[in-house]
Structure 1
Amino acid sequence: MKQKQKPHNFAIFVARQPIFNRHKELYGYEILFRSGFENFYNALDADASTSKTLINSFLVIGTDSLTGGRRAFINFTEETLKTNLAYFFPKEVLTIEILETVPITHEIIAIAKKLKSQGYKIALDDFVFTDEYRELLPFADIIKVDFLNTTTFERIQIHNETAHLNIKLLAEKIETYEDFHEALSLGYSYFQGFFFSQPEIIESRDIPIYKLNYLEILQQIHKEDVDFGKLEEIIKRDVSLSFKLLKFINSAAFGFASQIGSIKHALALLGIREFKNWLSFVVLHSIAQDKPQELIVTSLIRAKFSELLASSSQLKPQASECFLMGLFSLVDAFFDRDKKEIFQQLPLTDDIKNAILKQQGPYAKLYQFITAYEKGNWESVNRLSEELQLPAEQIAQSYRKAIEWANTFFVHQ
């Protein structure tokens, strides 16, 4: 009988959700936190959650790794505001999110005023316009509006009521490009959610020629009978691709002692399976030149996270395939086409395709796990970790390693 996963008090689960500006450039992340699996986020442990989020984000993991030095949005409760916890952390990075559950008292207003005077940025979370918030508005830098739980009328009202103030509006739970464009038209400045990982469907638009060329390369890479010589010829057709590949392989992410000077040398060192995986990444990176960089960052984190978790589970022999599953999981957003349409043209294994398209097969639960984790869906993370028999400390460590590793790649690209 399978034993239930026991919680580990030292396992720190930190996920992040990206926040973009109007140009779809990364502005920061909201940091989501869970300590072990013993209890999920509720009002009773909110104060401890905020404290641990700050300590682990800034001290244990480090914001350079977690946010790349960009803004870290962290929820503050009434109690954590009163304890002056924020002052222990850098105002250049920390954005204080005052939760909607915080009662707006004279004391809270005084705290917000002082934080503002000290240079800290303040965001009001899940904002709905009420009279009690009026006194707090002069000290707010950002208002977050939940697009899933507000009407268009309420969103416009918030914009109109705050237009005369120096406050930016942030639309959260933006999951599609339609949501993004609506918020953009209403004058919002920031956008939180996973809309960037969805295809931006523009009717009657053909796939650009350069993307079709890269699709052909992906087709050739993943043929069963491809050989080293043919792979080298495929890459040499595109000078920029060859340059990018060698630059990536010579980056600190790989840590080779000597410089890799040719495609053949890289093939010999990596082996054909690993080389195909990394060539796939470089090709996808080239395809995403008109997309937010966060799309390729998320794909890379998914790939490494999947590989690391597979390596500590019964899927260890298939870790390389799990890497590829994570890497191609957002392929529809790269091409702005339905996944099924793209996968029909890519000779990936049925196990990879079924996990992503149907959530079936041997990799399905791992795929569900990595997507639940990045969204901070801790209840699903708990259930799936037990089914996959993943140690809690291994999960936390693997996600941190995946982020750090992806960061290394982009610093040295």
Structure 2
Amino acid sequence: MDTSDNTPDQAPATAPDDTNVACIARQPIVDEKRDVYGYELFDRSTAAHAHTAASDAALLFNALSYAGAEALVGKKTVFINCTHESLSGAHLELIHPDRVVLEVPPLAADASQQDIDACLPVFEALRQRGFRLAFDQNLLRSSYASWMSMASFVKLDMQAFALEHAEKLVKLAQSHTRAQVVAEKVETAEQFERMHALGVRLFQGFWFAQPQQVQARTIRPTQATIIQLINLVRQQASTEEIEELLKKDPTLSFNLLRFINSSGFGLSCEITSFRHAVMILGLKKLFRWAALLLTTSRVGGMPPAVGQTAVVRGRLMELLSAELLPPEESDHAFVVGVFSLLDVMLNQPMAKALESVALPQSIVDALVHNQGVFAPFLELTRACESGDELAFARAANALQLSNHQVNWAHLQALSWADSLATEDL
């Protein structure tokens, strides 16, 4: 499989060891007209590029949670290199299988026939769940005959055999499997034309495109908060208790909403509330997600003051809006407040920061355009922080709220945020 460490055309803007950047390379798989059929993804977040079960899980997780699946692969099929260990990994339960092809390597050269046949139950279970499997040309060896019926794709490495052997390999694949043949590592026009003449319709390699690196600025919760979430799930805590934890950490809630609304999760509707996200995901998948998030998190997280301010804003907007808006709108007001510092967290414009998370238009209008039903509440919330008495009076009057009402709500929000912070100690 095409796992060589090819250098992308453009150098990354940020060093690979930056813990706030997820680096993923993609290489297109194209048809004979050079239209993109799908993308093979490569992890570029670490200097070593070690290919392990853990890196497989991290690659899928980062693709869905950080880089934004829509921006990374659109509606195309995703090809992911796997180890045999990762094929049994629980992380695969988190993704929708329809658009994912798992690339399966051969076993070690000294593997016995018993070892080869022992893989079949894993393959069959994956296929029953809807995953498609891809194999390299080793599948066409007699010792791997039992695997042939499992193949949806056979990838022929054009650098692994002489061109005069191409016809034999293509005919073997066509006669012994129902798989689509992919010519990979195609580097010359001669290779393309020969394989196309043999009936191959999918291609990958430098002759078409080198891997292109995609980066995303990330915000990752502290490990302590993620461990809290894992403990709540293991204790089978109520949806309300889990929602409370999500409310206290903007990075945690942001990552959850972005993940559950990614195309890889396969939902047909957008999830915009924390409670709905927890209910849709369920405790088992929430545990898997949190465990994967823990492996990609760091000890420090973002600066505590930023998260604390965001939490205060969320709670204050929730309390203020409860005076004037229906309950469901108060939930949205909380999201506006808690996400109002995403531009600071991600160090990018707010509109860009919101691209990878699905939110109601009313929330986007407030955060990006300072318009709509929540904009006056956000303005008042910011005025409470600024110490500008004129701005405070103007914003409070616009909502017909008294100084007493606003000050009481602000004190309640500060107290609530402090109590949450104390729970972490």
Fold match (TM-score > 0.5): no
TM-score by length of 1: 0.44
